[in-house]
Chain A
Amino acid sequence: MSAIRVFPEWRGKDLDGMLHAVVELLDDTEFPTVKRWREAGGKVVGHFQVYFPEEIAHAAGMLPFKMRGAPIEPKHADSHFGSYLCSILKTSLELVVSKRVELELFVTHPICDAARNLAAVFGRNFPYPCQILYLPQNATSPAARTYLAGEYARVRDLCGEIAGVTVTDEALRNSIAVFNRNRELLRKLYAIKRETPWQVAMHEAYALVAVGGLMPREEHNELLEAVLPLLETRERKKHDRVRVVFEGGFCEQPPFELIRAIGRSCYVVDDDLLIGLRWILEDLPVTGDPLDALAWGYLERSSYSPVQHDPRKQKEDMLLKRVRESNASAVILAAAKMCEPGLEEQVAYVHALDEAKLPYFVTEFEENMTSYDTLEIQLETFVENLLFV
């Protein structure tokens, strides 16, 4: 269990004060909590979106830092990339080149053709290990689970070597328990969004999830344990708003102000925003072989996304399931600019939603965009059409 705490600003405050502190932290592109972690002697694993088993880094006593870009200008990183690429690649490198964040290990996955290049790009620029974690795309192969457990063992050994510890099964089970608690709390947050969406604004829920990637998960658990009961009991008026699912936030994130704007127009009752911090959908076993449990979690209990291939989880079917289970009546289909898998999936989503006669709003975003007026007007028009037709 990590004893280091890096985010004292929320403690001793009322709900609004805590939420303000969380938003302030999310807004801070100097990543103060990661710096405090390092000042306390901690080491950091930077893991690019989406499906990194954070429990392994945690068990080694390292901070798993979710690399999801940032709303910053890629002044240094720009010259390392060409055109026609999504922004998150550049700003993720910028975070490290500019020393806003310092790492001891970088891990990416072949989630898309661009992201798989990052291990090479980082590796050419930093002296520490920069690796690819090959997650199975042949998810229904009976051999995939054993392979993945072995791949996780490799990451465990690497983390242990960097941290200067032997990562025991006991440590891994303890970490799984910490993350199980985190998963439980995040599910509870999403239940509030789904069942009483007026109790928590879209941007508040988003910020509460996002800061989990910036601090030890025990501390995130403490924060959520303090905030969630207050969210449930706060006095908020229910408005006559359309219930909407937001799809397209699995990797690059929309700007926080855009999330705030969307939340002003409708109730977003479910989404795939920051799915990389909550991709294991159920608790994992805390007995038996922990790496096998993590491998099982990826193959059998993970969230779908456009960057995971599993014939048992057709993406359009999963989206319709998400809409049904959240009792939504419309969908915002977003994609980050130049995000190939997201843009490709939009075609299948559109066809499925047409067939299901569900209204949808298609848009693109970029983490560095600064003007939302047009998009907000379009969205409001879409929503008004639904409300008043």
Chain B
Amino acid sequence: MSETAGAESIVGRGNREGARLFRQWFDGLGQAAEENRGGAYVFVMGSLGELLSTFDLPLVFPEINSLQTAVRHQAHDYLNEAEDVGYSPDICGYVKADVATQRRGGMLPMGRIPKPSIAVLTNACNTYIKWAEIWERMYKMPAYVLDIPASRQDGHPVNRHTPGFERDRKYVAAQLRELIAVLEQVTGKKFDVDRLRETMKHANTMSRGWKRVLELNQSRPSLFNALSDGTIYLGVCNGFRGHEAGAKYFDELVEEMEYKRANGIGTLVDEKHRLLFVGVPCYPIFRRFTELFSEHGGTFVNSTYLWFASGGTNLGFEYELADPLESLAEGLLTGVSDAMDSMFFQTNALVKMVDDFAVDGVVYHPVKSCRTTSTGQADSRRALMAARDVNSLFIESDMMDRRVVSEAQLKNRIDAFFEGLESRRNQAAAGIA
């Protein structure tokens, strides 16, 4: 293979293959719906894909389904339908889009999803719990809420060396055993620990790969845009957790990023400003939102989204396969806690990202729909500004509801932000403090 042909097959492969896998995943969901097989409804923070796939349950991520309606500019129809049956304009748009989806028999712009046989969720987001209560009422199916006692205080992250960790881990492990009994009942299948080892092995490969991919974006120019490309990778990270195809994808993604770094291939021709993104993307104008930054030479080198929406996979935690259930409990506790930390106790992580990724500016994007990720952002911004002399932008909109997304206002603010970045750079070049 010539060098050019090699570059063509490797560069951009993550995006192409991610789109293909996503289509494959959704086709599988459509087939399950046609065959009237129930799915496992799960969420990105603690999906337990590695466990659920051993029971051959199709994984349905309602968060991903809902955001897809926004990306495809159809969310408003779904939101209106849910609001017509009483759901307030002031609650999570993901929930409302899903309510409408369920009322439409699982129909989405991308196809049809199966009904839930079970919902498995963690306490990482309270809306998960309220959401599952809606399904319980609709379908009378079990919703297993798995408590993850995460960090209690800023600066005290959960890990195996902290006091109380073993108590919390035992609680998580006990719940996993209870969940397995529920899954056996729901599916009529016996739990197979060897299959779990296999899926955990694939999850290990994925974790290792995701951590490495994120690290590699410290390169200059950055190798991928955390907001646009990163969201594709994230989809595979969630949908194919514990699958061989997911493991292979991340091995190849690392290869692609290593290749790009070795050859100085960045995501933008002229990367001028390296940015961090805090919060959830603006899906109603997803592509345009990224363009509003890239038009100024701004690229997102990392984001809290790639951390919390991967359920803590960014840590690179690898399971001990000799003792899978106990290790699964530790991995779940550690990963989901880290996901929560990146939303609530994020200041130290942001400071480190600013340093490690040579960041010029930080973009905070609180959204109406998600109080989990948005409530603390204004205060977190104050703390980051006190810790590092870095420009920041605070723009509010939504991840679902185009009624609260004003592109013109966003553009004005973003343009001014870049003027500030340019001005600072010019002053630095002129030696003005």
Q: Taking the complex as formed, is A143 at the interface, i.e. its CB lies under 8 A from any CB of chain B?
A: yes
Q: Taking the complex as formed, is A102 at the interface, i.e. its CB lies under 8 A from any CB of chain B?
A: no
Contact present for B150 and A117 (CB under 8 Å): no
Contact present for A81 and B129 (CB under 8 Å): no
How far in angstroms is the closest Cβ of chain A from B383?
A: 5
Contact present for B90 and A84 (CB under 8 Å): yes
**Which of A84-113 touch B at CB < 8 Å?**
84-85, 89, 110-113
**Which of B126-179 touch A at CB < 8 Å?**
126-127, 129-130, 133-134, 136-137, 143-147, 149-155, 164, 167-168, 170-171, 174-175, 178
B378's contact among A81, A130, A343, by CB below 8 Å, is which?
A: A81
Contact present for B368 and A137 (CB under 8 Å): no
How far in angstroms is the closest Cβ of chain A from B394?
A: 8
How far in angstroms is the closest Cβ of chain A from B58?
A: 24
Contact present for A89 and B375 (CB under 8 Å): yes
Contact present for B145 and A138 (CB under 8 Å): yes
A132's contact among B152, B178, B372, B377, by CB below 8 Å, is which?
A: B152
Q: Taking the complex as formed, is B382 at the interface, i.e. its CB lies under 8 A from any CB of chain A?
A: yes
Contact present for B376 and A117 (CB under 8 Å): yes
The residues of A that contact B377 with a CB separation of less than 8 Å are 82
Q: How far is A200 from B287 in the complex, measured between Cα atoms in Å?
A: 60
The residues of B that contact A121 with a CB separation of less than 8 Å are 375-376, 379
How far in angstroms is the closest Cβ of chain A from B179?
A: 10
Contact present for B396 and A82 (CB under 8 Å): yes
The 0/1 profile, CB within 8 Å of B marked 1, for residues 340-352 of chain A is 1101111110100
Contact present for B88 and A134 (CB under 8 Å): no
A113's contact among B133, B150, B370, by CB below 8 Å, is which?
A: B370
How far in angstroms is the closest Cβ of chain A from B369?
A: 8
Q: How far is A82 from B178 in the complex, measured between Cα atoms in Å?
A: 40
Q: How far is A173 from B151 in the complex, measured between Cα atoms in Å?
A: 29
How far in angstroms is the closest Cβ of chain B from A32?
A: 29
The residues of B that contact A344 with a CB separation of less than 8 Å are 87-88, 91, 95, 130, 134
The 0/1 profile, CB within 8 Å of A marked 1, for residues 108-142 of chain B is 00000000000000010111011001101100000
**Which of B360-376 touch A at CB < 8 Å?**
366, 368, 370-372, 374-376
The residues of A that contact B136 with a CB separation of less than 8 Å are 311
The 0/1 profile, CB within 8 Å of B marked 1, for residues 136-164 of chain A is 11100111101100110010000000000
Contact present for A154 and B87 (CB under 8 Å): no
Q: How far is A151 from B144 in the complex, measured between Cα atoms in Å?
A: 21
Q: Taking the complex as formed, is B344 at the interface, i.e. its CB lies under 8 A from any CB of chain A?
A: yes
Would A114 and B91 be within 8 Å (CB), given that A119-B344, A144-B147 are in contact?
no
Contact present for A131 and B152 (CB under 8 Å): yes
Would A137 and B145 be within 8 Å (CB), given that A340-B90, A340-B91, A340-B127 are in contact?
yes
Q: How far is A131 from B152 in the complex, measured between Cα atoms in Å?
A: 5
State the total of A-B contacts with C-beta under 8 angstroms. 163
Q: Taking the complex as formed, is B86 at the interface, i.e. its CB lies under 8 A from any CB of chain A?
A: yes
The 0/1 profile, CB within 8 Å of B marked 1, for residues 221-239 of chain A is 0000000000000000000
Q: Taking the complex as formed, is A370 at the interface, i.e. its CB lies under 8 A from any CB of chain B?
A: no
The residues of B that contact A350 with a CB separation of less than 8 Å are 86
Contact present for B90 and A120 (CB under 8 Å): no
Q: Taking the complex as formed, is B5 at the interface, i.e. its CB lies under 8 A from any CB of chain A?
A: no
Q: How far is A300 from B116 in the complex, measured between Cα atoms in Å?
A: 29
The closest CB in chain B to the CB of A133 belongs to B152
Contact present for A340 and B376 (CB under 8 Å): no
Q: Taking the complex as formed, is A5 at the interface, i.e. its CB lies under 8 A from any CB of chain B?
A: no
Contact present for B154 and A120 (CB under 8 Å): yes
Would A347 and B85 be within 8 Å (CB), given that A134-B149, A136-B147, A341-B130 are in contact?
yes
The residues of A that contact B383 with a CB separation of less than 8 Å are 124
Q: Taking the complex as formed, is B92 at the interface, i.e. its CB lies under 8 A from any CB of chain A?
A: yes
Contact present for B126 and A338 (CB under 8 Å): no
Q: Taking the complex as formed, is B380 at the interface, i.e. its CB lies under 8 A from any CB of chain A?
A: yes
Q: Taking the complex as formed, is A322 at the interface, i.e. its CB lies under 8 A from any CB of chain B?
A: no
Q: Taking the complex as formed, is B55 at the interface, i.e. its CB lies under 8 A from any CB of chain A?
A: no
Q: How far is A130 from B379 in the complex, measured between Cα atoms in Å?
A: 15
Contact present for A110 and B123 (CB under 8 Å): yes
Contact present for A116 and B154 (CB under 8 Å): no
Q: Taking the complex as formed, is A79 at the interface, i.e. its CB lies under 8 A from any CB of chain B?
A: yes
Contact present for B378 and A151 (CB under 8 Å): no
Q: How far is A6 from B371 in the complex, measured between Cα atoms in Å?
A: 37
B366's contact among A82, A131, A143, by CB below 8 Å, is which?
A: A82
Q: How far is A119 from B383 in the complex, measured between Cα atoms in Å?
A: 14
Contact present for A85 and B371 (CB under 8 Å): yes
A82's contact among B91, B147, B374, by CB below 8 Å, is which?
A: B374
Contact present for B146 and A147 (CB under 8 Å): no
Q: Taking the complex as formed, is A129 at the interface, i.e. its CB lies under 8 A from any CB of chain B?
A: yes
The residues of B that contact A116 with a CB separation of less than 8 Å are 126, 344, 372
Would A340 and B145 be within 8 Å (CB), given that A137-B129, A147-B167, A348-B137 are in contact?
no
Contact present for B145 and A309 (CB under 8 Å): yes
Q: Taking the complex as formed, is A375 at the interface, i.e. its CB lies under 8 A from any CB of chain B?
A: no
The closest CB in chain A to the CB of B153 belongs to A131
The residues of B that contact A335 with a CB separation of less than 8 Å are 88
Q: Taking the complex as formed, is A83 at the interface, i.e. its CB lies under 8 A from any CB of chain B?
A: yes
Q: Taking the complex as formed, is A38 at the interface, i.e. its CB lies under 8 A from any CB of chain B?
A: no
B167's contact among A125, A150, A346, A348, by CB below 8 Å, is which?
A: A150
A124's contact among B152, B154, B374, by CB below 8 Å, is which?
A: B154
B153's contact among A132, A146, A345, by CB below 8 Å, is which?
A: A132
The residues of A that contact B199 with a CB separation of less than 8 Å are none
Q: Taking the complex as formed, is B308 at the interface, i.e. its CB lies under 8 A from any CB of chain A?
A: no
Q: How far is A150 from B149 in the complex, measured between Cα atoms in Å?
A: 12
Q: Taking the complex as formed, is A312 at the interface, i.e. its CB lies under 8 A from any CB of chain B?
A: no
The residues of A that contact B174 with a CB separation of less than 8 Å are 141-143
Q: How far is A383 from B19 in the complex, measured between Cα atoms in Å?
A: 58
Q: How far is A341 from B131 in the complex, measured between Cα atoms in Å?
A: 10
The closest CB in chain B to the CB of A139 belongs to B145
Q: Taking the complex as formed, is A80 at the interface, i.e. its CB lies under 8 A from any CB of chain B?
A: yes
B379's contact among A124, A138, A141, by CB below 8 Å, is which?
A: A124
How far in angstroms is the closest Cβ of chain A from B420?
A: 19
In the complex, 14 of the A-B residue pairs with CB atoms within 8 angstroms, ordered by the A residue number, are A79-B382, A82-B378, A82-B394, A84-B366, A112-B126, A113-B371, A114-B371, A117-B344, A120-B379, A134-B123, A146-B171, A147-B168, A151-B149, A335-B88
**In the complex, given contacts A119-B344, A129-B153, A141-B175, what are 10 additional A-B residue pairs having Cβ atoms less than 8 angstroms apart?**
A82-B374, A85-B375, A112-B126, A117-B375, A119-B154, A138-B147, A138-B175, A143-B178, A150-B167, A343-B87
List the interface of chain B (C-beta within 8 A of A): 85-88, 90-92, 95, 123, 125-127, 129-130, 133-134, 136-137, 143-147, 149-155, 164, 167-168, 170-171, 174-175, 178, 343-347, 366, 368, 370-372, 374-380, 382-383, 394, 396
Report the 5 A-B pairs with minimum CB-CB distance, sorted nearest first. A143-B174, A117-B375, A113-B371, A113-B372, A343-B88
